[in-house]
Structure 1
């Protein structure tokens, strides 16, 4: 399902600094889910068809949220419940902040046809891609203050997803992440132990 999208990301991605550091990624085909689906091993034609069918089924099973959160460079993101995203109350005022809001929201919820975005010109497609990432980040910021969001954040914290503090006095304490502002693209993510934050 995301093979065409991944290939377009690999070909058209530019690092012009338009997205926050937590959203940028190298988009290596090995690191993007489904990126290697076009490469088939040498063998009989029957084996190749069988492997291709399996990889297509796996691509259809993954949601945009899972794909995005598992992409290289997005380790800090948590998977927001789709029920939370579908509740319009939780999205209040985001329409005014995010360009192409409806397309971005439909992409996050897997309601937007991937082929539609692939047919757009490169500049508009890039804007929609960045809008989708921006919208997901803003939704996640709101989700994090819910009980389910705090539980997901705690799971990442206890799994050392954010790393360990390099300060000797912290005795390898887990790091947490925070931002000083909710204004998009205005500040980088800060990592540190709760003692130093």
Structure 2
């Protein structure tokens, strides 16, 4: 088969892909999992999301693969707006879907492969992290990474910091580890002990000691 023929076949395959497939196959959206078509067909799952989209009916049809974006009949501004709204609604649906049994199963596979990233804490020994949001409301902050070993939150890689934290929410990471305790680290990380010439520094010798003493005085006053 000629290269020209193979290229045309690829173009056909791409045009046959649904919006959800194209979105999830993009490398920049690797944090997201596929939402089942059956889940998207349920109007109940879209409850409360209409306020986030001016073209809600169109967005729902796009997610359900009932209509595609017609570039010829739409202006560039209209296409950009609807595309942004579709991504927003999908992201908020995603936060709901990943706390279902099937959603957690799909995200657990990504977690075990370390797709979300590894903890930068040295003593965590590259422990895989989970995506987490600091708010369930969109536009409140980018996605962060939660390390189940040191139980701290870190910044994601720069290329993923454009992803809204609400697309994963404040519940998913902790729910996954509670429902699947086998995924939790068995040991807590060692703590770094500061030393001078081999001797441990006494806790009372702290750069924050004076500030803490001042705070205590203010509280008493």
Q: Same fold, TM exceeding 0.5?
A: yes
Give the direction of change, closer, same or farther, for the CA distance of 1:157–1:125 in structure 2 (3 Å limit).
Answer: same
Q: Distance in 2 between matches of 1:186 and 1:118?
A: 35
Larger radius of gyration: 2
Q: Once superposed, what is the RMSD of the aligned Cα atoms? A: 1.8
The gaps in structure 2 that reach 5 residues or longer are 154-221
- Structure with bigger RCO (C-alpha 8 Å, 6+ apart): 1
Determine whether 1:141 maps to 2:95.
yes
Q: Distance in 2 between matches of 1:159 and 1:93?
A: 33
| 1:196 corresponds to which of 145, 152, 177 | 152
Q: CA deviation at 1:97?
A: 2.3
Partner of 2:184: none
**Contact kept in structure 1, 2:132 and 2:144, CA below 8 Å:** yes
Q: Any idea what the Cα deviations from partners look like across 1:117-173, whole Å, max 9, x if unmatched?
A: 442112121110100000100110110111111111111100111111111111111
Partner of 1:47: 2
Q: CA deviation at 1:193?
A: 0.7
Partner of 1:25: none
Q: Distance in 1 between matches of 2:120 and 2:35?
A: 30
Q: How does 1:152-191 map to 2 (within 5 A)?
A: 152-191=106-145
| 1:123 corresponds to which of 77, 98, 102 | 77
The alignment's TM-score, normalised by the length of structure 1, stands at 0.70
Determine whether 1:67 maps to 2:28.
no
Structure 1 residue runs of 4 or more that deviate by more than 4 Å after TM superposition: none
Q: CA deviation at 1:68?
A: 0.3
Determine whether 1:103 maps to 2:58.
yes
Q: Distance in 1 between matches of 2:6 and 2:99?
A: 42
The alignment's TM-score, normalised by the length of structure 2, stands at 0.63
Partner of 1:4: none
Q: Distance in 1 between matches of 2:52 and 2:116?
A: 28
